[in-house]
Structure 1
Amino acid sequence: MVSSWLRCFKLGCRKSTSTVGPDRNKGKDGVAEGEGFIRKFRWEEIEVVTNDFSRVIGRGGFSNVYLANLSGSQGAVKIHAGSYRLNQVFRQELDILLRLRHDNIVKLLGYCDDLDEGAMVFEYVPNGNLQEKLHDSELLPWKTRIAIAFQLAQAVEYLHEKCSLQIVHGDIKPSNVLLDECFNCKLCDFGSAKMGFSSTVKPPSCSKQVMVGSPGYTDPHYLRTGLASKKNDVYSLGVIMLELVTGMKAFCPVREQLLTSIVAPCLRDIDEHGAAEKVAALVDPRLCGEFDLEEARALLLIAALCLHQSLTVRPSASQIIKNIKEKINSMDLQGKDSLPIATI
């Protein structure tokens, strides 16, 4: 079972420190009363827990992440660069994170908004991210890949269908999928997320528009229209499923092609009778045959639907989960609401 929530921590217990309760209307993934409160830090406390920002563990375009010591347990502190526009991004991301509670979404423990440089304190997820583990380091076993695909789909389903205000993440990619000590996934980085569909993104042709998403994972429909929707996330999820099966990156620098372009011709034939060799040819050769052929076929077919040009053909996150439960038996998922364990 996925690790339970980190216990609420205490730091110096200053009277000026306050807590903010999480959103109470989150369905089955909401926390019970009295649990999961978000702590409001003072900037001096942020400096103390990070040891004056001494150890960087992650970098983004407009933020750095530092290792933190939270009274005996580790945490991660994300510091946003200070500017009016980036402060707006920080506020938007914080507003969304305050509403979220799901095993496969990185947990917000606290925040600080005393200065222009906003700070968010997260649980520490010790095993790096999916980009590193799938492409740059050790070999992920087949069952671990299936579990990650399922867990990530559950995180997307929660955002799209189980939050009081539905959320589009907007930047789902392997580097935003953290892995814990058991290789369970934690979706992170909600800086591009949109909540409640209250606003529409301007088309990319606008000169001042900042693009949402990342090359290789961004929905072509969004690139054409600039309109954000849940199906943008479904597309990105489909790309990650292709990566999990093939072991290839979303963009192949050798061929100078997108993975979707390389694999697309092959996906058209894999559901035909006698297509076993075509399916096997798409699976990551580093697995050396240690995978289930029918599971690979099922995941590739689900990915193909996620990547379909027509938004209406693309499945919802709940439909993706249903398909995985029906077609992938080795995880023994049928009839279970609990998450599978991703072990290695």
Structure 2
Amino acid sequence: MKYSTSKVGCIGQKKPTESRCSSGHLDESPGIPALDVITDIAPLNNVAKERLGYPTQKPLALLERIIAASSNPGDIVLDPFCGCGTAIEASEKLGRRWIGIDITYLAIHVIEERLQKTFGPKIKEAYTLYGRPEDAEDAKALAARDWLEFQKWAVFTLGGLPKDRPGADGGIDGVIRYHRIGMERASRAIVSVKGGLNVGVDAIHKLKSVVKREEAEIGILVCVNPPTGPMLREAASEGEFGPPTKRVPKIQIVTVEELFRPVPVHLPGMLDPPEAISMPAPGPGKRGRKRIEGQTEMLFPIEGKQRAEDKGKVKGNRSIRPVAIEVTRADRRKAK
């Protein structure tokens, strides 16, 4: 006699179990359906390693479970609001084909960086990106259609990060962080994106004041239209910045056409990797008492003759001088 097997389990269970009825035969009932309430995957907290800063980001394990339970390898997964790309990464890991759609260039940039970090640079050959400007005409059309998205795209193209929120920007549309050789503190270049027919030398004056106010080293003005002669002369009057081996203009003007060059801006150093851009620049450390671990709280006299210059300053046969050292026991620190 042949018996059919009924598998009972839920999503996430390693092995389905077989159920037998009271007579000893395998139960032919359909089993228990998978639950739609998942409690064993915690939401992302502020210190999670996979957190990218997106307010609606979901855990990767959650999307992997949902996609694994609702599709087969080779199927197409559509995420029409893909945000930071959690469903995209999960689909790629599980061998699914995928389509991701989002309206902001911030999301596109985050997803591309995420995929390259997880799967390597060759992942760019595995997908096609639609909607990003391919030439100056596309960029100008984007500027006319959605100015804020054009600003984000321009800043990303320069290798920087745009401002977090729309609104009063104080003359700053983005920031490029870079390192100069021999300098521990990260340097900054301020990016200002301007459009329209009334952009003139005043835009250079404002950028110079912002660079000075923010204590940045370089200012970059992105113009939709070609700069005027007075703008070029005013920018050149600010001089150059950087080490003798690589001096660059302190105020640089970049047109839309120049954004498509391999090196649209000139910086006196190397750009930070994406994961280091958001890290705060190191500041001067606070002076305090030096701590030496693993030593006991005991002082021993040193045998020797008293020197003439130490008269009145000694106790017993050892010179005494004030020191800024706090001696502690290593085992005490561990106990705390």
What is the TM-score normalised by the length of structure 2?
A: 0.27
Higher relative contact order (CA 8 A, sep 6+): 1
Task: With the length of structure 1 as denominator, give the TM-score of the two structures.
Answer: 0.27
Q: Which has the larger radius of gyration?
A: 2
More helix by share: 1
